[in-house]
Copies of this chain bind each other. A is one copy, B any other.
């Protein structure tokens, strides 16, 4: 019989810990791929605590327990968890390692599931002198009676007309990159890497179209895929070919053991610690290094680039229809109905496969919550004369989109100070969109261009400026991002990055203006070294009533007018009647 009450679940876990001879246990919000979205089976944190946010960890001792999350979710954590059971902590103000150092008895056996933590994340405990014990079997799985089954969606071929390069060629390239480093094999635990390498897509988790699995790639080009064979229909089995062996997940430990004496690349930041532990125990030599698919996946090939342009042009039709619809939303619609309307328009778009993340639909003060996710409890009516922010995206077979627009609901004119702030955000957006830069420049070096106009008056936004985006894959794709905190990995031709400066006044409103950018070679005749620039992929008007053109340089004004001209040229042929008239008015020259 399932334990339904949170207190019963916690008690059951504690009993299991006693049975396993453990004094404590860490429960992260993670699956064994350390992915952004986890299948229901892996949502142990939610089952145990009730907390449904996308980041957090619980720490359970015999006599006390705490749940930790970051600034985005502290209110939600407080609402969803029982204070009689859980101390609720801000994960940066009071990290779990500090809490354990304070509350765990000396010599206590505190356990973790090595499939749910990277080696780098465990290091944070070691740095505080906390010695953790790896479990062989997750104690929650032992007591979670109605734990959902692992997802079994079929993995399907991602055809060459979208993938652009066949899997055999990709595997050759990856194998060659191992040979150069004198490595015999690499562990691939990110299902997005597998999806890219084998040109397959799946449906095991929401929003990101991959099939969960693991893979070993060998320097001789052989691949071993660990995925339930029933997820691979004959069509897919034929598609991936004989150079890729398929084994069940249960065969993974044996395959790792066979790497004895080999040099094996493992990603200490991106892969569960279990892999390095198994390999070390088997007598393999571990070389720490990035998953060898990450960089080639990020560099989109010509077919993927064109697919992404095409997907964005079609997505723009849905977004423009929605923005017109929004003109009459005030007093009529809610955050939920607006997000549903945009989704409805997108369902009309060719090759639509689903949303690329849960839309952020925030009116008035809800727009200031950077990672807001509307729920029936928070759903707010869209009111006249306020800002409405919508950050959304879609998965198409040929590409992934992500766009944010901020509109004024009217009918009065927006206040001047609001227009000034929106215009500063727009100036930052343009500064990044128009930048050219030499090869070698990385995200941390250019993040400030998107902020300088805000900084000039003492304003800023507390999030990065941009993240990588996949090609009909994850909307948050590594390794490059535009942020001061990012690793300085150079931007390369073919990478897709978001450009999303904002400004948030808590309790009042949020502004964010986001397009996706494609990094491409810049052709400067006679240049002494190679340069890159950005091609804008996203096409939808910026709300003209929020732009103060007196604050713009001639170059900025010219950029907006040229952008709007192109929006109209791309989208107008696919609109009808009043939608088309609206778009023409929205894209008329500002200058």
Question: Residues of A at under 8 Å CB distance from B?
Answer: 434-438, 440-442, 444-449, 452, 455-460, 484, 488, 522, 524-529, 531, 553-555
Contacts and interface: CB of A to CB of B under 8 A. Distances in A.
Given A445-B448, A448-B449, A455 B553 contact: no
A517 to B, nearest CB: 16
Given A455-B437, A529-B460, A531-B455, A484 B448 contact: no
B455 A438 contact: yes
Nearest to A506: B528
A445 B527 contact: no
Contacts of A524: 457-458
A150 to B, nearest CB: 42
Contact of A484 (B445, B452, B522, B555): B445
Contacts of A555: 553
Nearest to A531: B458
A463 to B, nearest CB: 14
**Among all A-B residue pairs, the 6 with the closest Cβ atoms:** A458-B524, A458-B527, A553-B553, A436-B455, A445-B448, A437-B455
Given A448-B449, A449-B448, A456 B436 contact: yes
B448 A437 contact: yes
Contacts of A484: 440-442, 445, 488
A447 B446 CA distance: 9
Contacts of A436: 455-458
A435 B555 CA distance: 19
A563 to B, nearest CB: 18
A442 B488 CA distance: 14
Given A458-B522, A458-B526, 14 more contacts: A434-B456, A435-B455, A435-B456, A436-B458, A437-B452, A438-B460, A440-B484, A441-B484, A444-B445, A448-B449, A455-B531, A460-B528, A460-B529, A553-B554
A555 B427 CA distance: 14
A526 B457 CA distance: 10
B444 A488 contact: yes
A568 B226 CA distance: 75
Contacts of A458: 436, 522, 524-527, 531
Contact of A446 (B437, B440, B448, B527): B448
A452 B435 contact: yes
Nearest to A447: B445
Contacts of A457: 436, 524
A484 B434 CA distance: 20
Contacts of A455: 435-438, 531
A534 to B, nearest CB: 12
Contacts of A531: 455, 458
A459 B529 CA distance: 9
Contacts of A445: 444-445, 447-448, 484
A449 B447 contact: no
Nearest to A436: B455
A555 to B, nearest CB: 8
Contacts of A438: 455, 460
Contacts of A554: 553
A531 B451 CA distance: 13
Chain B CB within 10 Å, residue with most, of A436, A440, A526, A529: A436
Contacts of A528: 459-460
Nearest to A552: B553
A531 B437 CA distance: 27
A287 to B, nearest CB: 15
Contacts of A527: 458-459
Contacts of A529: 460
Contacts of A452: 435, 437, 449
Contacts of A442: 484
A441 B449 contact: no
23 contacts: A434-B456, A435-B455, A436-B456, A436-B457, A436-B458, A437-B448, A438-B460, A441-B484, A444-B444, A445-B445, A445-B447, A445-B448, A445-B484, A448-B448, A449-B452, A458-B522, A458-B526, A458-B527, A458-B531, A459-B528, A460-B528, A553-B553, A553-B555
